[in-house]
Amino acid sequence: MLITDLPADQRPRERLQSLGAHSLTDAELLAVVLRTGIHGKNAIKLGQDLLAHFGSLSRQLRASAPELAALKGMGPSKCSLLGAVVELAKRGLVEELRRGPPLKSPEAVAQFLRLRLRGLPNETFLGLFLDVQGHLIACEEMFRGTLIRTHVYPRDCQKST
């Protein structure tokens, strides 16, 4: 069934506009982002298939482009679109953390790093540069390692300009 065959009040994009994003299921939100399905499968069904394949929304959002492309209907354009949406969301959250309260506790630093490092395929060493009040000035990748380790050279740890 095509999404256009659904009554207007059941279509994801129209529901998003009238009721807000919180009223949509994960599959429907994915359908809005994906915009189209493939022959015999509308965008909602494609979103459901993505969620079923990866087991959860968080796992699907961490999936790499090759992992996404392995599913029928997920071509380079749709994979790039999902990657861009995820990166925009990450950057928005990082921006909020930069402008928000200072990183004065280990919990605050851990929360920031979880957000920044989530989904990276390799071990990564980040440098966090803070002002005297604990506000984030910059977060820079200093070293990237393998799947399980990275080598850090203290003499090379300095903020680039």
Looking at the domain 1-99, which fold is it?
A: DNA polymerase; domain 1 (1.10.150)
Reported pTM: 0.65
Task: Quote the pLDDT of residue 127.
Answer: 86
Q: Where are the domains of the chain?
A: 1-99, 101-161
pLDDT per position in the chain (161 positions), as tens?
A: 678 777 777 888 898 898 888 889 999 999 999 988 888 899 999 999 999 999 999 889 888 889 999 999 999 999 999 999 988 988 887 777 677 778 888 888 888 888 788 777 778 888 888 888 888 888 888 887 776 767 776 666 666 55
What's the pLDDT tens digit per position in 32-72? 999 888 888 999 999 999 999 999 998 898 888 899 999 99
Mean pLDDT of the chain: 84
Task: Quote the pLDDT of residue 105.
Answer: 86
Task: Quote the pLDDT of residue 81.
Answer: 93
How far is Cα 142 from Cα 130, in angstroms, rounded to an integer? 15
